[in-house]
Amino acid sequence: MTNLTFRKGLIDGIPIALGYLSVSFSFGILCAKGGMRILGAILISLTNLTSAGQLAGVGIIFALGSLSEMALAQLVINLRYALMSVSLSQKADDTFNTLRRMIVSFGVTDEIYAVASSQKGLINPKYMYGLMLLPIVGWTSGTALGAIAGDILPADIVSALGIALYAMFIAIVLPPATEHKGVLVCALISAAISCILAYVPIFSFISGGFAIIICAIVAAVIAAILFPVKDEESEASEND
């Protein structure tokens, strides 16, 4: 008998949900600052459940980018979830039929994946439903609170909260960059290309969404060639 019950999933999801609440709060503020309807911001968080993809997505929406640009940006930015889904499918027990796989795959985020894959043995659908539930609630309600707060808070406070999401990205990238040369080189290349695309006038026709795609592919490919990741390293990072 497995100890991975729905209840254990719920409990394991609490810290993830609390973290999501604060991250999505700043996403909600960002949406409100850009003039998006509160309901639109909530709908995005409820249906996407991802930070970097949503941030790039609203950037494309505000810039009135094309739908193909939106699709390509989401594909590239969220490609890591494909790897996590492949990995998680190896841990799925026999009770995972196609429908259950389709439901559980909606909840594949960096954090949910990390917690699920760190469990001993196989995982079952009930545990995964429990694990997904509170993070989804936290992510969506945080967005709602942020979007509402963005409408009613004074401008200087909203302006100061605008850095929250970026600060969190810094906190995700810097620690591994100080320990892993490949990550550091990858980040430096990406930053350099990003600045060139943003500031050199001849590249001004490239929109923000495509700029991220270019940075992601060029930097990741160069880093992968210069610093191939050994199996143990990629396994370890998946459990971060």
Partner 1 sequence: MTDGKLLLYIAVMAGVTYLVRMLPFVIFRKKITSPFIKSVLYYMPYAVLTAMTIPAVFTSAGGDMNGIIASLAGVVIAVLLAIKKSSLVTVAAAACVAVYVVGKVLTLI
Residues numbered 129-158 forming contacts with partner 1, rule: CB under 8 A: 156-157
Which of 131, 121, 116, 76 is CA-nearest to residue 238?
116
Name the residue nearer to partner 1 (CB basis): 2 or 22.
Answer: 22
Residues in region 13-32 near partner 1 by CB under 8 A: 19, 22-23, 26
Pick from 5, 6, 110, 129: which binds partner 1 (CB under 8 A)?
110
Cβ count near 226 (within 10 Å): 12
Residue 5 or 176 with smaller CB distance to partner 1: 176
Compute the distance between CA of residue 4 and CA of residue 9 in angstroms, rounded to an integer: 7
- Alpha-helical regions (H) of the chain: 6-33, 38-48, 51-62, 67-77, 79-89, 98-105, 110-117, 125-152, 155-161, 164-179, 181-199, 208-226, 231-238
- Which residues make Cβ contacts (< 8 Å) with residue 160, sequence separation at least 6? none
CB of 85 to partner 1, least distance (A): 4
Q: Which is nearer to partner 1, 11 or 163 (CB)?
A: 163
3-state SS, residue 96: coil
**Which parts of 56-85 interact with partner 1 (CB under 8 A)?**
56-57, 60-61, 64, 67, 70-71, 74-85
Pick from 94, 98, 202, 232 the residue near partner 1 by CB under 8 A. 98
Tokens matching residue 164: 């929250």
In the bound state with partner 1, the residue whose beta carbon lies nearer, of 1 and 201, is: 201
* Interacting positions 180-239 with partner 1 (CB under 8 A): 182-183, 186-187, 189-191, 193-195, 198-199, 211-212, 215-221, 223-225, 227-229, 231, 233-234, 237
The count of residues interacting with partner 1 (CB under 8 A) is 104
DSSP letter, residue 66: -
The residue assigned the tokens 């026999």 is: 94
| Contact range with partner 1 by CB under 8 A, out of 6-14, 105-113, 116-124, 137-145 | 105-113
* CA 132 – CA 109 distance, rounded (Å): 9
Told to check if 88 binds partner 1 by CB under 8 A, we report yes
Binders in 36-55 for partner 1, by CB under 8 A: 36-37, 40, 43-44, 47-50, 52-55
- Determine contact, residues 211/198, Cβ cutoff 8 Å: yes
Please give the Cα distance from 103 to 7 (Å, whole number): 18
Q: Minimum distance between the CB of residue 1 and partner 1, rounded to whole angstroms?
A: 25
Pick 4 or 27: Cβ nearer partner 1:
27
Closer Cβ to partner 1, 3 or 98, answer by number: 98
Q: How far is CA 41 from the centre of its chain?
A: 16
Interaction with partner 1 in 158-177: which residues (CB under 8 A)? 159-177
